[in-house]
Structure 1
Amino acid sequence: MSAPGVDLVRHPSGASELVLLAHGGQEHSDADPHVWRPALLRMWPFARVARSAAPSAAVGFLRYRARGWNGGAAADDLLAVLNDLPAAFSRVVLIGHSMGGRVVVAAGEHPRVAGVLGLAPWLPRGEPLMRLRPPVTFAHGTDDRLTDPATTLAYAERLRAAGTPVTTYLLANEGHTMLRRAADWNRVVADFVARTEIEPGGSHQLPPAERDSTAAAVTEIALARLRLPIRERLRVTS
């Protein structure tokens, strides 16, 4: 297995904040998480959105050692990265999809973390409750059959009961791949990164979209991947 790290697609001079995206995976897998996997490609438009919402921040992708959660090894990868980042990055905003959502929550107590966004996160019942610092946002499609929106809402309620404000969004008629309502997912990411969420800490159900955006979303993924190349690779050295 290769060492965990970060693939930066943007690194402005003097950047003190890093927006770090964590893609989905599998419960158990030691396979190579290569850069052309669909789960990672789906995150590429969010890197473009983050670049626009926070132009002074660096933007990058978490690079796991393997594709699987593997009993929490994926979260260990993120913790290792957070510990080993250049000192200039004093604030890290975490955005994770599916397994990546579980990863960013599990590592969310790290002192460098300045916000956690879970997109269709995999948060099984009984998941340990973390002391996350706001902003904390979870968004889930109501038609998701791979990860359960009910468990996401239940975890959010546990956080609220412990005193952590949590913003939640339910996207009607949306599945796990986040393709049918791509513009709404982009908006959730942009508002979170720019700290412009409507009613932070509230619960919101977004009405059904007028049309399915799957074809346009696939085109957006391809264009974002081509126009936003990896510019710098950071590796964990300790």
Structure 2
Amino acid sequence: MTLCRTRRADPTALLVRSAPAVPTAAVLLLHGGRAEGPEPPPALNLPALRMRPFAGAVTRAVRGRGVLVAEVRYRHRGWNGARADAARDAEAALGRLREQAGPVPVVLLGHSMGGRAALRVAGDPAVRGVVALAPWCPADEPVDHLGGRRLYLLHDETDRVTSARQSWEFVRRAREAGADAAGIPMPTGGHAMLRGADLWHRRAAELTAALLSHG
């Protein structure tokens, strides 16, 4: 495991879970957060910890394929309205991936706010597709930049934090914009994806590996 940190003046960081000598592709994981939270994330960051098993599952699913697997570290705890801090950090993280891995195809795997951030920056030329877990998809979330992207939105319809109905509506709008988008109902897990966690980990890893094989 290699920890790649930036200078204190620019604290966006990547935690690299798997770094092959010559990467052929990359997976960037984006954890969840709050609607409002201008303060930095705490040292014990539960949303980030929730993504660790997904990082492990993805690493196993792509073993031997030269895939760099990394997690984003946000400068702020929340989305923070029009600032869209998580999306800005996701964009910066894509730039750092280019610096480290070169112009390789990237799959974004995000949960909740991280799912929204992944979908927001998926127009980047390097992004091949997105796997969004219980994503936060407000009704006015833009979709026009998603043409040609493959998107998988996974949601348990009993989720009381983010709305599965809004995820399915986002899928519909993304398709109209030219995306190859699919909504995948999950049988359990709620928002935290704790119940039936193995299924969430396995399905996310399988879809991520499939996106890396596509195209």
**TM range, smaller chain:** 0.7 to 0.9
Once residues 84 and 187 of structure 1 are traced to their aligned partners in structure 2, the CA distance between those partners, rounded to angstroms, is 27
Relative to structure 2, which stretch is displaced further, 21-30 or 122-131? 122-131
Match of 1:46 in 2: 54
How far the C-alpha of 1:88 sits from its partner, in A, is 2.0
Aligned counterparts, 1:207-218, within 5 A: none
Q: Secondary structure at the match of 1:166?
A: strand
Give the corresponding residue for 1:10: 18
**Aligned residue identity for 1:14:** V
- Decide which of 56, 62, 82 is 2:94's aligned counterpart: 82
Where do 1:1-238 residues align within 5 Å? 2-34=10-42, 36-55=44-63, 56-71=66-81, 72-85=84-97, 86=99, 88-132=102-146, 133-195=148-210
Tell me, yes or no, if the aligned pair for 1:105 and 1:130 is still in contact at 8 Å.
no
How far 1:143 sits from its partner (Å)? Answer: 1.0
Q: Could you tell me how far 1:43 is from its partner in structure 2?
A: 0.4
Mapped contact 1:142–1:174 kept (Cα < 8 A): no
| C-alpha distance in structure 2 between counterparts of 1:10 and 1:130, whole Å | 32
Q: Distance in 2 between matches of 1:35 and 1:52?
A: 27
C-alpha distance in structure 2 between counterparts of 1:21 and 1:39, whole Å: 11
Q: Which amino acid aligns with 1:70?
A: N
**Separation in 2, partners of 1:5, 1:44:** 16
Secondary structure, aligned partner of 2:153: strand
More off after superposition, 26-35 vs 53-62 = 26-35
Distance apart, 1:31 and its partner CA: 2.2
Q: Does the 8 A contact of 1:108 with 1:130 survive in 2?
A: no
Structure with the greater relative contact order (CA < 8 A, sep ≥ 6): 1 or 2?
1
Give the gaps of 5 or more residues in structure 2: 1-8
The RMSD of aligned alpha carbons is 1.8
Distance in 2 separating the partners of 1:175 and 1:32:
26
Query: Could you tell me how far apart the structure 1 residues matched to 2:134 and 2:76 are?
Result: 21
Q: Is the 8 A contact 2:189 2:197 kept in 1?
A: no
The offset of 1:89, in angstroms, is: 4.7
User: CA–CA distance in 2 between the matches of 1:185 and 1:12?
Assistant: 26
Runs of 5+ in structure 1 lacking a partner? Answer: 201-238
Work out the CA distance in 1 between the residues paired with 2:152 and 2:22. Answer: 27
| Runs of 4+, deviation exceeding 3 Å | none
**Cα shift at 1:125:** 0.9
% identical equivalent positions: 36
The superposition leaves residues 17-54 of structure 1 with CA deviations (integer Å, 9 ceiling, x where unpaired) of 11110000001112222453111111000101111111
Corresponding pairs, count = 197
